[in-house]
Structure 1
Amino acid sequence: MHPTMPASLQPLVGVSGFDIDELRVTYTPDNGGTLSVGINQPTNPFDPLGRDVIASDADNNGNWGTVNPLISNTSVSPPTGLFPAFQDPADFGGSEYMGVYVDFIGANTGQIVAGFSQAVPSGQAPKTFQVAEAIQAAPNVIPTFGTQLPQFQGNIYTQNDPNHPNMELSIINFDTLYESITGSPLTANSVIKVGAFGGSGVDLPITEALFPLQPVLIGAATPQPEVCPPISPPIHINPHEHRIIDTAHDGLVRVYVQGTSGFDPSTIDPATVDLNGAKPVATKPYQFPRNPYGAQVFVFKASDIQAEPGLQTLTFTGATYDGQTIITQNQVVNVPNSAQVGGRLKFLMNRGNESQYNSLRRLASSNPEAILDWSIFDRQAAAPMAAPVALAVPAQAGGALGTATPASVSIPGAPLAASSGLKVDYSSATRLGTPTPIVAPRAVVSVPSEQGGPRLSGRLGRGLEDYLDGVAADRANSAAAADQDEVMSGAH
């Protein structure tokens, strides 16, 4: 129901500031639930920018507290104009009212009303926003405000500004309010009905506005959380081993997650991290040289990684502590059993498994919190015993003790420390002869040949040749002088 007015007033007003064009409803579940309603007024036909009429601007003159003198001129006595009794109090003053009403139980009448009431404040006090019980005798009748419910009173927004002309209001603790009226908890499938109203007792002959109740599905009015795209920071997989991995062995694979200006890799939750089915066994911060952004390194056991041989793309996934998803990739070369080969491949892979685990043990000693899975060290406990060591002993018929000496004796391999307490009694052993003296090794000095040594530069070579030539000449002159002295002495 839109406000109506006489034809004589239409050219001066166009549309009333109490008219209602549409409602916009939003429910947010946070903090007990909030129902927000925007009352959208019609477009002002006199506005060159096409903005809406200001809420409660009854005569639509661009100011909710003044009246077009052509309608009512109160500056003279008696007032003049088409309708001298027409008034437009500021700030919803006097009998001006506007708001929404809500039906929770499908009765087609409101149980709750929110906005500015029809009651005139005493002593010229400004009107305040209210949430109250609705008094509505029948459907399609403008409701009035009953008992106030301040515990559900949210905020109200309205301005005397054509750039912000519409009214917006909110009802807080809406979940509790809904359950107290319906006896059931509010869900996404709950349906309420929302309507609106507006008018004034002093803007005659303009009539009142009533926007009928409209059904609202709570789930449809609830904004869906914004889904951010996954974070995809750059990663480096085994850069120290030229991106080679060996999934046939339990060597360690390191993944460096590089930080950026907008991403701190230390915010990654290690419990969420996965690398092609493998979970990290350790993690720690890392700083690349000359890089202003820190990195985080995650260590995985190679045999846990699910990858085919050859050039493969590994996917690193995880999430930050605040729930942001991380998905990023990089390529590696998977060479199964490459840890057992030598040559160029061994050089590229840089080190063996035992060296990697020693580094991990040092990390566990200095920073125990960096270890995520301590069972990674159980691999040594489960390692097979070392193969027996064979000591070759020459066979002699009727040996020193008069018995045959076996060709070899197998002694199970054991750590050196385990045999440190071993004592041997040689008192009953028969002397076999004079022991062979042990010749001390000769010191050997390696002198590189001219062909194998490093070459001198041309300038240094020429300088050295000139120096040697000078030395040879001096020696020749000295020898000649000596001969001359000898000759002279012989002549005497």
Structure 2
Amino acid sequence: MLSVTFTGNVAADFPATQTPGVVILPDNANVQHPVIGDAQLAELVGVSGFDISSLRVSYSPENNGTLSIGIEQPASPNDPLGRPVIASDADNNGNSGTVNPAITALIPPLGVQDPPDFGGTEFMGIYLDFLGTGTGQIVAGFSQAVPSGQDAKVFQVATANQAGPNVAPTFGAPLPQYRGNIYTQNDPNHPNMELSVVNFDQLYQSITGSALLPTAVFNVGAFAGSAQDGPISEAFFPAQPVLLSAATEPEPEPPVCPPISPPIFINPHEHRIIDNAHGDLVRVYVQGTSGFDPATIDPDTVELNGARPVATKVYQFPRNPYPAQMFAFRASDIQAEPGIQTLTLTGKTKDGQDVISSNVVVNIPNSAQASGRLKFLMNRTGQSQYTSLRRLAASNPDAILDPSVLGGSSVGLSSGGLAASYAPTRVNLGAASASVASAVNVDYSSPARGLAAPVDMPRQVVSVPTAQNASKLPGRLQRSMTDYLDQVDVPADQDSELVMSGAH
């Protein structure tokens, strides 16, 4: 809550409906209202501008604690609209700087004066009793002291000098560090005095020796009057207790930002077809915009219908100035029924904003059995998706969020180590038929892993057990094997996949 905005209308600025946030200290039998000691004057004045009918108190944590107080006054019988009497309008003529001529003409003269701007001996303010002693330690408002020369009276916060619990305090040593705002106008539309004390937390601790807590209770009273208003007595409003938490408006709930909902493409290269009966990869492209960079999404928070991503990378669509972020998922992890389905991607940005977006796909379990146009649209090419992942792992190991997707472990995920871990394990012997290749035995020696220093990779050896078997090899197959043996020293990170069909 910000400090109360003062307009000179206490009932509006300190609404009774604001609970907690506003404490109303009501009129009671102990309040001393000004008494007009002359019948003719009482008929003309009706109610003194120094009368006090209630106090309203509010607290805000801003400015190291701000205590705001409104001094409410009774309605004026002289006002056709029934508005409150103007603060310090001693004779209630609707102007706090003049005296009604009818009052001046009274015989005998009553000596009623009404200096403007709380001049002369006019005073009005509040006092604070932090210790519960019945007398105040702090006063705030306009003092009883008459300014020297032509100086205007100013709003003060000062130490209080109070002779007793039912006597108006006087102003002692000024405390300007606690002086907040003051509102007082010579205007029947804005008649009330309102004031504030800043650094209230510090002031409370300096008096009590304790930190200001929501359970703190302090007492607030008020006083007003003038020694120049003839036979009109002063007002005194004894202090009443205020519970800090009751005077403090609760912190407003922070606005909830709607989730970011960027456009997403799901398997656009396969015409939005997925197969969650198998471990195919499903690619989701989160589109960037002028106000959103999808690279700010935290991969650890991303899900697609229950599936967590296994890899991610920045992707640039042609002629699109804003980069996209690709997330790859195992299709078998996606929870979806067969047929047309809406998949929803959720996550959070690294600064905690929610991200949620959806798109429609066609889920065809066991899609390998598809044929015709549907098979063409799916554009399936065996293990090529995982080959692409291995290539990504070699160039950017951090892009692989789940190394198990490549069939390996998380050991040695350095740029070279990850590529070596998932080096091709199949050899294309170029056999004309499976029956020819079935007679060939291939012996693979695993490369060394997990060593601290680089070592020479063991050669992979292809052996033909007998000359009899070897004699049956076609010339093309023998040339292919020879070429392979000549190239086994090629580094494993050259992402070439050698395929042996039917070998054992």
Instruction: Please tell me the TM-score bracket, short chain as reference.
Output: 0.5 to 0.7
Mapped pair 1:96 → 2:88: no
Q: Is the 1:67–1:88 Cα contact (8 Å) retained in structure 2?
A: yes
Aligned partner (choices 84, 94, 103) of residue 62 of structure 1: 94
CA distance in 1, matches of 2:315, 2:61: 38
Change (3 A) 1:201 1:235: same
CA distance in 2, matches of 1:287, 1:61: 79
Aligned partner (choices 140, 157, 160) of residue 166 of structure 2: 140
Deviations 1:175-202 (A, max 9, x none): 1111111111001111111111111111
2:239 matched to which residue of 1? 213
Aligned partner (choices 177, 180, 184) of residue 203 of structure 2: 177
Mapped pair 1:2 → 2:33: yes
Q: Which amino acid aligns with 2:100?
A: N
Mapped pair 1:193 → 2:219: yes
What is the DSSP-based 3-state SS (H/G/I as helix, E as strand, rest coil) of the residue aligned with 1:161? coil
Change (3 A) 1:8 1:219: same
CA distance in 2, matches of 1:329, 1:82: 87
Q: Is the 2:140–2:158 Cα contact (8 Å) retained in structure 1?
A: yes
Q: Is the 2:59–2:68 Cα contact (8 Å) retained in structure 1?
A: yes
Q: Which amino acid aligns with 2:33?
A: H
Deviates more, 1:198-207 or 1:300-309: 300-309
Q: Which amino acid aligns with 2:97?
A: G
What is the DSSP-based 3-state SS (H/G/I as helix, E as strand, rest coil) of the residue aligned with 1:39? strand
Residue 130 of structure 1 deviates from its aligned partner by 1.0
State how 1:185-334 maps to structure 2 within 5 Å.
185-233=211-259, 235-236=261-262, 238-241=264-267, 253-255=284-286, 265=292, 274-275=301-302, 302=329, 308-310=335-337, 311=341, 314=344, 316=346, 330=358
Q: Which amino acid aligns with 1:71?
A: I
Deviations 1:194-237 (A, max 9, x none): 11111111112222112221211112212222224422256146
State how 1:392-471 maps to structure 2 within 5 Å.
407-410=439-442, 412=444
Mapped pair 1:150 → 2:176: yes
Q: Which amino acid aligns with 2:134?
A: N
Q: Which amino acid aligns with 2:178?
A: F
Q: Is the 2:126–2:141 Cα contact (8 Å) retained in structure 1?
A: yes
What is the DSSP-based 3-state SS (H/G/I as helix, E as strand, rest coil) of the residue aligned with 1:91? helix
Mapped pair 1:376 → 2:401: yes
1:115 matched to which residue of 2? 141
Change (3 A) 1:151 1:285: farther
Q: Is the 1:338–1:346 Cα contact (8 Å) retained in structure 2?
A: no
Mapped pair 1:38 → 2:64: no
What is the DSSP-based 3-state SS (H/G/I as helix, E as strand, rest coil) of the residue aligned with 2:246? helix
CA distance in 2, matches of 1:218, 1:246: 63
Residue 61 of structure 1 deviates from its aligned partner by 1.6
Deviates more, 1:378-387 or 1:37-46: 378-387
What is the DSSP-based 3-state SS (H/G/I as helix, E as strand, rest coil) of the residue aligned with 1:109? coil
Deviations 1:321-373 (A, max 9, x none): 6x9x75866566695988988774995799985698699889x98xxxxx9x7
State percent identity of aligned pairs. Answer: 43
CA distance in 2, matches of 1:272, 1:83: 88
Residue 99 of structure 1 deviates from its aligned partner by 0.7
Change (3 A) 1:266 1:391: closer
Q: Is the 2:284–2:327 Cα contact (8 Å) retained in structure 1?
A: yes
Mapped pair 1:13 → 2:50: no
Q: Is the 2:307–2:334 Cα contact (8 Å) retained in structure 1?
A: no
CA distance in 2, matches of 1:434, 1:102: 109
Q: Which amino acid aligns with 1:309?
A: A
Higher relative contact order (CA 8 A, sep 6+): 2
Q: Which amino acid aligns with 1:33?
A: G
- Alignment TM-score, normalising by the size of structure 1: 0.63
Deviates more, 1:61-70 or 1:374-383: 374-383
Q: Is the 1:106–1:193 Cα contact (8 Å) retained in structure 2?
A: yes
Change (3 A) 1:157 1:434: closer
Q: How many residues align?
A: 398
State how 1:315-354 maps to structure 2 within 5 Å.
316=346, 330=358, 344=374, 347=377
Q: Is the 1:288–1:295 Cα contact (8 Å) retained in structure 2?
A: no
Residue 122 of structure 1 deviates from its aligned partner by 1.3
CA distance in 1, matches of 2:190, 2:209: 38
Q: Is the 1:196–1:212 Cα contact (8 Å) retained in structure 2?
A: yes
What is the DSSP-based 3-state SS (H/G/I as helix, E as strand, rest coil) of the residue aligned with 2:401? helix
Residue 112 of structure 1 deviates from its aligned partner by 0.7
Q: Is the 1:114–1:132 Cα contact (8 Å) retained in structure 2?
A: yes
Mapped pair 1:164 → 2:179: no
Change (3 A) 1:67 1:229: same
Residue 147 of structure 1 deviates from its aligned partner by 1.6
- Alignment TM-score, normalising by the size of structure 2: 0.62
CA distance in 2, matches of 1:320, 1:345: 40
What is the DSSP-based 3-state SS (H/G/I as helix, E as strand, rest coil) of the residue aligned with 1:9? helix
Q: Is the 1:93–1:126 Cα contact (8 Å) retained in structure 2?
A: yes
Q: Which amino acid aligns with 1:202?
A: Q
What is the DSSP-based 3-state SS (H/G/I as helix, E as strand, rest coil) of the residue aligned with 1:24? strand
CA distance in 2, matches of 1:4, 1:285: 85
Q: Which amino acid aligns with 1:225?
A: E
Change (3 A) 1:288 1:230: farther
Residue 275 of structure 1 deviates from its aligned partner by 4.9
CA distance in 1, matches of 2:155, 2:169: 16
CA distance in 2, matches of 1:48, 1:200: 26
Residue 10 of structure 1 deviates from its aligned partner by 3.4
Residue 164 of structure 1 deviates from its aligned partner by 2.0
Tell me how large the CA RMSD over aligned residues is.
5.2
Q: Which amino acid aligns with 2:216?
A: S
Residue 91 of structure 1 deviates from its aligned partner by 0.7
CA distance in 2, matches of 1:285, 1:39: 66
Query: Any gaps of 5 or more consecutive residues in structure 1?
Result: 74-79, 366-370, 396-404, 437-492
Aligned partner (choices 15, 22, 25) of residue 54 of structure 2: 22
Q: Is the 1:246–1:302 Cα contact (8 Å) retained in structure 2?
A: no
CA distance in 2, matches of 1:285, 1:60: 78
CA distance in 2, matches of 1:174, 1:97: 23
What is the DSSP-based 3-state SS (H/G/I as helix, E as strand, rest coil) of the residue aligned with 2:63? helix
Query: Any gaps of 5 or more consecutive residues in structure 2?
Result: 1-31, 410-421, 448-455, 477-504
Q: Which amino acid aligns with 2:212?
A: L
What is the DSSP-based 3-state SS (H/G/I as helix, E as strand, rest coil) of the residue aligned with 1:8? helix
Q: Which amino acid aligns with 1:220?
A: A
Residue 39 of structure 1 deviates from its aligned partner by 1.5
